Amino acid sequence: MSPFNPIERIGLHQSALIFLGFGWIEREQPISDFGIDMHVEIVNDGIPTGQIFATQIKSGSSYFKEETPTGYIYRGKNEHLEYWLSQSLPVIILIYEPESKTVFWQRVNQSSAIRTEKAWRIEIPKSQLLEKSKHDLLRIYDNPNHYVVMKVGDNSTGVARRVEVSILVESTHAKSRVAMKKMIPEIIEKFKRSDYHRNEITKQRYEGKEAEIVFLFFYESIRQVDGGYTFCRAIWKNESCEYKINPFEADEVVSQIEIKWDNYPAITTLSDANELPKGKYLDLANVLHNTIKELHRDISSNFERYKRDKQFIKLSKFILSKKTEFESLNNNPLERSGAPLECKDLNQLLRESTALMHNIWIVSSDETRDENNIASQINYYLNLTAPKINHYDYELQKLK
């Protein structure tokens, strides 16, 4: 029987005391689980955040024998590294030096872990003393750069400069609403100053001016991007902007930014099980396309009549009489099912066309808008939808 070595327990408890000193929650893992000794949850103003990282704690002077000018070298087995890299939580390795009673740390990831001929190694910096690293550890979840911009769009109107951005977020941040709420204002500030304009007209009108509306769409995976399944949306509007926009009912407001948390559990379980077969998808897509096409044709015809006779009440009554058709756009079967990956371009085209047409209903049924505003917006959305309708057959042919 091996003699009992209290150093391992002392190192674990010393680390736990430091985390408790931060005001965070430490949860020792009493059952052996292949290299995770403790989970630590960040607490903000006494409120647990759900931001958790896993730790592996090594104790004893032997872990400090291989030293560089800047840190200590830890060497491990490949099976441990693969396990840590596959964790859904960030993994931190801690080493405890018993003589000085100090703990140092490093995050284990693809960039910090260096593979060797036999296994792998990682340098644990001397500068990363655990008791002085609360701010640095917070940045694991509080980092505004943990995202990739997938698409920037300019949907400016004659009365407002509007920028729309699709963003792929690192999984660690996507799963934490606290982290997202810290990230979103940073992204908003960045894209207020977007230099992209969709054409020369908007460029001449808005070049050098900050956006008055920034609309963000967040995704956690490429599959969600392809399917258009956001886990979060956020919109900021300048207080002086008179343009009315109500794309969703906000769940909360942070720094004048409205945030909507979409159906996250359903999105994360999206799989091949609820993905439509190609034939069934195309049948439903054609039905939706025809509904959009007919609605666009009828409204366009009535709008042209309005431009001649200026009978706005007739135009308004006609659009409002199409409530059933507009509702069918929002409740179409494709909203509840996944598109085959090869149909992603067609699916995106349909989603954009659906949203644009539904915006006509939104502005037309808004009693706070005046005639000029409603008419200009109807014309704007009709013009944006027309090329998408015409492009549908091209996308359809690509799938055959």
Residue type for 144, please?
Answer: P
Specify whether 12 is located in the same domain as 112. yes
Regions of the chain where pLDDT drops below 50: 1, 265, 267-268, 270-272
Q: What's the predicted TM-score (pTM) here?
A: 0.56
Q: Are the C-beta atoms of residues 329 and 358 closer than 8 Å to each other?
A: yes
Of 138, 166, 197, the one marking the end of a domain is 138
> Would you say residue 352 lies in a domain?
yes
CB-based burial label for 241 (10 Å; 0-12, 13-18, 19+): middle
- The residues near 262 (Cβ < 8 Å, ≥ 6 apart) are 229, 230, 231, 232, 233
Specify whether 122 is located in the same domain as 213. no
Of 242, 268, 294, the one marking the end of a domain is 268
What's the CA gap between 223 and 220, in Å, rounded? 8
Q: Are the C-beta atoms of residues 231 and 220 closer than 8 Å to each other?
A: yes
Q: What is the model's pLDDT at position 268? A: 47
> Would you say residue 1 lies in a domain?
no
Q: What is the model's pLDDT at position 38? A: 93
> Would you say residue 230 lies in a domain?
yes
Specify whether 160 is located in the same domain as 252. yes
Collapsing DSSP to helix, strand or coil, 28 comes out as: strand
Q: What is the model's pLDDT at position 145? A: 66
Range of the domain at 303: 275-398
Q: What is the model's pLDDT at position 153? A: 92
3-state helix, strand, coil in the chain (%, to 5): 45, 25, 30
